[in-house]
Amino acid sequence: MKRIVAGLAAAAVLLTGCGPAPTSRATQPGSPTSSPTAPSSPSPTTGSLASLHALESAYEDVIANVLPSIVQINTKAGLGSGIVYDSAGHIVTNAHVVGEATKMEVTIATGGPPREARLVKSFGLGDLAVIKVERPDGLRPAKFGDSSKVRVGQIVLAMGNPLGLSGSVTNGIVSAIGRTVTEPQETEGSPGATIASAIQTSAAINPGNSGGALVDLSGQVIGIPTLAAVDPTLGGGTAPGIGFAIPSNTATDIAAQIVKQGRVTNSHRAALGIRGSTVIGADGTPSGVGVVRPEPGGPAAKAGIRAGDLITSINDKKTPTMAVLAETIANLKPGDQAKVGVLHSDGRTETITVTLGQLPSD
């Protein structure tokens, strides 16, 4: 299954219904009693309606409290979403929402004309960015939760501007945690962003949702919706109910570094230190990652990996594509020693031990 960015919304859209309907746990009716004077227990219908109304009320409260912290970001290339990070006007979003733009317009949920904003810094390899609104009055910072405490089955809401429909909300559950997913390569030799410990959700994520908020029922942001899966059997269409979000702990860590220091000084991510691309074998299937260029002085170069080498495995796990290699490295730490399977251009095979470095900020 391929993965695509849930990024910029086009100007013209085709609207289709999506997203699961709200569900609730029905309150079990009380046990029947033989006493003719005892009050009757609630019927299953009454109990179910009460439970549904309670859940509905919880949704309404969360939306009312969180939606004012979600903004729409417009660039010349399209639009996306963002989350108000602080009262100074900083907004966290996806790097692919910002793209190449250094200036953009932000529309806040409380209304009014668009406000000018500028890019503070993008962290492309983690698909995160911080922008700053020049006039921050009226901005309401969101409350960020601890994504390490997210549970599978937890009810969540995705808030953003899908397909340009401002302030839209979809609901679902946390389908899985700890996923590692990679966005498509935008340029040859440059890997797409890899998201470690991603949150998988069934809440509908569409173009324009990127950079918005995945929120729990306590009103805390636990993730930033970023990717939607693509189903090849649907002709490349979005696979219903499979979306991915950057964990809030990752987002707030990167955002804090950018706000305080103007750049990312510690990505906490391991790096092999190569520019590479997927190589297709004679049988038409991916056979490994061809090294286009090892970063000068980087971990791979120091270990003896050269341009033209083919990386076939990391720690005995096959790496047929650049995406698999990036996902494998993302699950390791800076300073770890990795056993890299290499096929040299002269036909020799070798396992080389590489001490991993740190993923750079740019």
Q: C-alpha 333: how far from its chain's center?
A: 20
Q: Return the amino acid letter for 75.
A: T
Contact present, 126 and 195 (Cβ < 8 Å)? yes
Short-list 100, 104, 111, CA closest to 82: 104
Contact present, 69 and 141 (Cβ < 8 Å)? yes
CA distance 47 to 227: 38
Active site residue 53: no
From the list 69, 90, 127, 202, the catalytic residue is 127
| CB-count exposure of residue 113 (10 Å: 0-12, 13-18, 19+) | exposed
Residue 142 token pair: 């969101």
CA distance 227 to 241: 11
Active site residue 218: no
Residue indicated by tokens 């949704």: 59
From the list 147, 168, 210, 361, the catalytic residue is 210
Active site residue 210: yes
Taking the CB of residue 338, how many other CB atoms lie within 10 A of it?
Answer: 20
- Alpha helix stretches (DSSP H) within the chain: 44-66, 95-98, 248-261, 299-303, 322-330
Q: Return the amino acid letter for 260.
A: K
CA distance 171 to 241: 10
Taking the CB of residue 307, how many other CB atoms lie within 10 A of it?
Answer: 14
Taking the CB of residue 289, how many other CB atoms lie within 10 A of it?
Answer: 26
Q: How many residues does the chain have?
A: 362
Contact present, 211 and 29 (Cβ < 8 Å)? no
From the list 96, 168, 248, 309, the catalytic residue is 96
Taking the CB of residue 112, how many other CB atoms lie within 10 A of it?
Answer: 11
Catalytic (active-site) positions: 96, 127, 210
